[in-house]
Amino acid sequence: MKERRRDYPRFALCGLNCGLCQRYHTQGESRCPGCGGEDFHLKHPTCAVITCNNRHDRVEYCFQCSAYPCQRFAVPSDTDSFISYRNVIADLERARVGGIEAYRAELDERVDILEFLIANCNDGRRKGMFCLAANLLSLDDLRAVTERIRQADAVASAADALARGATVEARAALAVALIEERATRANVELRLRRKG
């Protein structure tokens, strides 16, 4: 496949939130640049959606295509890859109805929250969970989680950081507990769905 660069690789042509994927936040060879990012065609040489788009209207997002909604978006996917596909149809629709700029602003905030969690709360085992949470929880829930983590850090810093356990491991445990609490309340399952 020939390289086709896109203006905003964090939100895929097909509606995936690439900016919330583990591979987007990985360092090294397996890092994905997001849909249409630099060298994307080398990481995903046979993307069926890009091939379809090249045959049709060559739009930035599938919801802009004259054939949308096509068969690809008739039924939500029941499996995931490195990232959850659960919200693809709803996210494309939100971008279509509310405007792509508003959707990008929300996605950018989600990416900022994810990057905060990875930088401050990842004990080496939590990136996948944080990516799922950033993709599946409401923005209000994500804001509440990060605010509680910041408050806990402020209290620990004001007292004695070591005595309060303001370590990455302690922040990771707090983040996981807060995320799981919010996910339970919202009835959101924080795991990727694999083919049976």
Averaged in consecutive runs of 10 residues, what is the pLDDT profile of the chain (196 residues)? 84 96 92 92 86 90 93 88 93 96 98 96 94 97 96 67 62 95 96 85
Query: CA distances (Å), 55 to each of 9, 50, 52, 65, in order?
Result: 20, 9, 5, 11
SS3 37: coil
What local confidence, expressed as pLDDT, does residue 1 receive? 60
SS3 141: helix
6 in a domain, yes or no?
A: no
What local confidence, expressed as pLDDT, does residue 76 receive? 85
132 in a domain, yes or no?
A: yes
195 in a domain, yes or no?
A: no
CB contact at 8 A, 194 and 165: no
173 in a domain, yes or no?
A: yes
What local confidence, expressed as pLDDT, does residue 3 receive? 76
Q: How far apart, in whole angstroms, are the C-alpha atoms of residue 116 and residue 118?
A: 6
Q: How far apart, in whole angstroms, are the C-alpha atoms of residue 145 and residue 153?
A: 13
169 in a domain, yes or no?
A: yes
Q: How many domains does the chain have?
A: 1
What local confidence, expressed as pLDDT, does residue 169 receive? 87
pTM: 0.90
Q: How far apart, in whole angstroms, are the C-alpha atoms of residue 130 and residue 20?
A: 9
Q: How far apart, in whole angstroms, are the C-alpha atoms of residue 168 and residue 70?
A: 45
What local confidence, expressed as pLDDT, does residue 42 receive? 86
DSSP symbol at 195? P
Residues spanned by the domain of 53: 18-186
143 in a domain, yes or no?
A: yes
131 in a domain, yes or no?
A: yes
What local confidence, expressed as pLDDT, does residue 5 receive? 86
What local confidence, expressed as pLDDT, does residue 152 receive? 85
Q: How far apart, in whole angstroms, are the C-alpha atoms of residue 66 and residue 57?
A: 7
What local confidence, expressed as pLDDT, does residue 166 receive? 56
196 in a domain, yes or no?
A: no
